[in-house]
Amino acid sequence: MKNTQKKIEETEKKLEELKEKLKREQDNSNKTEWILIPETNYEVTRDVLYKGKTYDEIMKLKKQGEELLTLKLIGIICEHPNLIKELKMDSSSTNDDFFFEQPFPQNKERGYVAGFCAYSDFAYLSCVRGSGNSGSDLGVRFVRKIKSKKNK
């Protein structure tokens, strides 16, 4: 009986710690800085968010209106050297890799997700990771549509 009570207390304590951790992560995501993607009506998060989480966990944390960065938008970003540098997509950082929207329907059907990774001498796109895989090396860059002045 005492062992059971002790396990319950330990579990409750762990639950409270996890709730606090989630609250801190949500508070940090509220401070997210957004950068306009030129020639689009989208903006992207400056920083890579939710490092160390699986794709599935990250999708549960995204807010309404936030979507994954797409291959098309990555292409537009790549046309702007200053933006590439600002987002550290220029291989200047190996800590800013991220998931992006799976561009291939057959891979999406298989539950595969896509990632952007940069190293000191190259960058690449990967499209065959399982959505349950943890990504201590991957986070996410969300995009959102900019509200037009009519909608404000």
What is the structure's pLDDT at 36? 96
CATH-assigned architecture of domain 33-146? Roll (3.10)
What mean pLDDT do residues 76-95 have? Answer: 87
Residue closest to 34 by CA, chosen among 149, 117, 148, 144 = 144
pLDDT band at 33 (very low <50, low <70, confident <90, very high): very high
Tell me how far apart the alpha carbons of residues 101 and 68 are, in angstroms, rounded to a whole number. 5
Reported pTM:
0.68
Q: What's the confidence (pLDDT) of residue 72? A: 93
Domain range annotation of the chain: 1-31, 33-146
Better-scored residue on pLDDT, 98 or 22: 98
Tell me what pLDDT residue 115 has.
82
What would the pLDDT profile of 13-28 be if each residue is shown by its tens digit? 888 878 777 766 655 5
Pairing mode of beta strands 138-140, 97-100: parallel
pLDDT at 151: 44
In tens, the pLDDT along 99-151 reads 888 888 888 888 888 888 776 666 667 776 666 665 667 788 899 999 765 44
DSSP code per residue over the chain: -HHHHHHHHHHHHHHHHHHHHHHHHHHHHHT--EEE-TTSSEEEESSPBSTT-BHHHHHHHPPTT-EEPPHHHHHHHHT-HHHHHHTT-SSS-SS-EEEE----HHHHHTTEEEEEEE-SS-EEEEEEEETTSB-TTEEE-EEEEPPPGGG-
Q: Which residue has the tokens 């509220």?
A: 30
pLDDT band, very low/low/confident/very high, at 152 (cuts 50, 70, 90): very low
Task: Tell me the average pLDDT across 46-69.
Answer: 89
Mean pLDDT, the chain, rounded, equals 81
Residue 146 near residue 53, CB atoms below 8 Å = no
pLDDT at 82: 95
Q: In what order do the strands lie in the sheet with 34-36?
A: 34-36, 42-45, 142-145, 67-68
